[in-house]
């Protein structure tokens, strides 16, 4: 057949349009592949597990599973099972808390298999703790005031924080007069009215040493936005949150992570007054970073200052401002920042 016959026309058409069709199909396949890959990655960021009583092996329902000092969390169902998306907080420890139990924290966990988490019941000696007579009411009020000063702080933020369930907090009235101990079977509910946050705090330990004027408390915190906030107050809250953030421990570690101490306004010196840089105090192991120095550090921000003493040889921190709280002893303005001054790790100063 001539070159103008039907077969040749068909050949010319297929030569012209098949590459376009092939390209269209290829793009669809690539998009499908990317979707499957994204779904697989997203699915792999879901952690699953079961929460149980360490003594009885019974499942614990409505336990809180969360990343400390964030908005990110979930709860176990009636069978003690839970699921949690850890994509945004993968570098942080995972905390599990429940009413009447001590919290547990995991630094290393995997999404490849479900976790089995055992919580230990709180066993307080409540005989000397409960207020059984009116004669103790005045003493309880003094203890509660002291507790709030040491727990919430003494700043203007603390003055605007309200503990909603004060009656769930008890004290040691009859033992160890030098040390005030506070206990709470239920999480402490706090309304921070100047920053616009609702706070749930699982208290594991609180001790105030009167002779040394020193306080130690340990626990875990979950943030939530105050649903009752008026839109008109949002700008006020943002101003106060930014003011709280600047010069805070969170601000310091974020600046340290990005090697922007100077531009952020921080100055760090050693005990002999030598100025230190990122390279002097940061040790990196793969993607992980640690604060490390053989002596104490002096940190200043504007007119505020503090001293850092290390309890650990190296202290882990990440880009959110999270750091291992067991590794550092703070003295000075940063050391005085208590619950009323804390911000969730999701906070962004660029909002």
Nearest to 92 by CA among 112, 76, 70: 70
Please report whether residue 6 resides in a domain.
no
Q: Domain total for the chain?
A: 3
Please report whether residue 1 resides in a domain.
no
* Residue 63: count of CB within 10 angstroms of its CB: 25
Starting at the earlier edge strand, list the strands of the sheet with 328-332: 266-270, 297-301, 304-310, 328-332
Residues 147 and 211 in one domain: yes
Residues 195 and 238 in one domain: no
pLDDT in tens, the chain (351 residues): 444 444 555 555 455 555 555 665 655 555 555 444 444 444 458 999 999 999 999 999 999 999 999 999 999 999 999 999 988 777 788 999 999 999 999 887 777 889 999 999 998 654 444 445 556 788 889 999 999 999 999 888 999 999 999 999 999 865 557 889 999 999 999 999 999 999 999 999 999 998 888 888 999 999 998 665 666 788 899 999 999 999 999 999 999 999 999 999 999 999 999 999 999 999 999 999 999 999 999 999 998 899 999 999 999 999 999 999 889 999 888 888 899 999 999 999 875
- Domain range for 91 is 46-119
Residues 244 and 312 in one domain: yes
Domain stops at, among 87, 119, 151: 119
Q: Could you write out the three-class secondary structure of 156-217?
A: HHHHCEEECCHHHEEECCCCCCCEEEEEECCCEEEEECCCCEEEEEEEEEEEEECCCCEEEE
Spatial separation of the C-alpha atoms in residues 211 and 134, rounded to whole Å: 27
* Residue 182: count of CB within 10 angstroms of its CB: 22
- Binning the chain into helix, strand and coil, the percentages to the nearest 5 are 30, 30, 35
Domain stops at, among 206, 225, 244: 225
Residue 52 has which token pair? 């149980």
Residues 137 and 108 in one domain: no
Residues 110 and 92 in one domain: yes
Residue 280 has which token pair? 């002097």
| Contact predicate 155/340, CB 8 Å | yes
Residue 120 has which token pair? 């230990």
Residues 75 and 137 in one domain: no
The residues facing 171 across adjacent strands are: 182
Starting at the earlier edge strand, list the strands of the sheet with 288-291: 282-285, 288-291, 315-317
The residues facing 66 across adjacent strands are: 73, 95
Q: What is the CATH number for 87? A: 2.60.40.1120
Residues 87 and 155 in one domain: no
Residues 188 and 242 in one domain: no
Please report whether residue 20 resides in a domain.
no
Please report whether residue 159 resides in a domain.
yes
Please report whether residue 25 resides in a domain.
no
Please report whether residue 347 resides in a domain.
no
Please report whether residue 264 resides in a domain.
yes
Cβ neighbors of 315 (< 8 A, separation 6 or more) are 290, 291, 292, 323, 324, 327, 328
Please report whether residue 11 resides in a domain.
no
pLDDT (0 to 100) of residue 38 = 42
pLDDT (0 to 100) of residue 130 = 47
Spatial separation of the C-alpha atoms in residues 338 and 322, rounded to whole Å: 15
Tokens 């990440």 correspond to 318
| Contact predicate 226/199, CB 8 Å | no
Residues 76 and 132 in one domain: no
Residue 91 has which token pair? 């570098």
The residues facing 184 across adjacent strands are: 169
pLDDT (0 to 100) of residue 23 = 61
- The answer to whether the pTM exceeds 0.85 is no
HSE-up (13 A, CA, CB side) for residue 221: 21
| Contact predicate 73/28, CB 8 Å | no
Domain stops at, among 225, 257, 286: 225
């Amino acid at each position: 057949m001539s070159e103008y016959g039907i077969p040749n026309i068909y050949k010319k058409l297929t030569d012209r349009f098949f590459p376009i069709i092939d390209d269209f199909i290829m793009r669809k396949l690539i998009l499908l592949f990317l979707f499957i890959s994204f779904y697989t990655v997203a699915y792999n960021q879901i952690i699953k597990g079961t929460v149980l009583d360490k003594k009885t092996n019974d499942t614990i329902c409505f336990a809180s599973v969360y990343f400390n000092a964030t908005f990110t969390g979930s709860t176990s169902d009636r069978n003690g099972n839970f699921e949690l998306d850890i994509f945004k907080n993968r570098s942080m420890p995972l905390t599990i808390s429940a009413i009447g139990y001590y919290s547990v924290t995991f630094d290393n966990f995997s999404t490849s298999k479900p976790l089995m988490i055992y919580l230990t019941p709180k066993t307080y000696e409540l005989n000397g703790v409960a207020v059984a007579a009116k004669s103790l009411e005045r003493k309880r009020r003094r203890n509660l005031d002291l507790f709030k000063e040491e727990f919430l702080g003494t700043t203007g933020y603390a003055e605007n924080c309200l503990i909603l369930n004060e009656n769930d907090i008890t004290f040691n009235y009859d033992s160890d007069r030098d040390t005030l101990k506070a206990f709470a079977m239920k999480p402490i509910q706090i309304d921070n009215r100047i920053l616009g946050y609702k706070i749930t705090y699982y208290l594991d330990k609180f001790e105030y040493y009167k002779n040394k004027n020193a306080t130690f408390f340990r626990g875990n915190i979950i943030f939530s936005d105050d649903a009752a906030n008026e839109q008109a107050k949002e700008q006020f809250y943002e101003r106060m949150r930014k003011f709280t953030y600047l010069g805070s421990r969170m601000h310091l570690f974020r600046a340290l992570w990005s090697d922007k101490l100077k531009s952020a306004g921080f100055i760090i010196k050693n005990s002999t007054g030598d100025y230190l840089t990122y390279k002097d105090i940061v040790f990196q192991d793969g993607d992980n970073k640690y604060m490390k120095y053989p002596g104490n550090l002096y940190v200043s921000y504007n007119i505020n200052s503090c001293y850092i003493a290390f309890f650990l040889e190296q202290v882990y921190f990440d880009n959110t401002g999270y750091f291992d709280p067991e590794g550092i002893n703070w003295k000075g303005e940063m050391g005085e920042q208590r619950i009323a001054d804390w911000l969730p790790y999701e906070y962004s100063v660029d909002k």
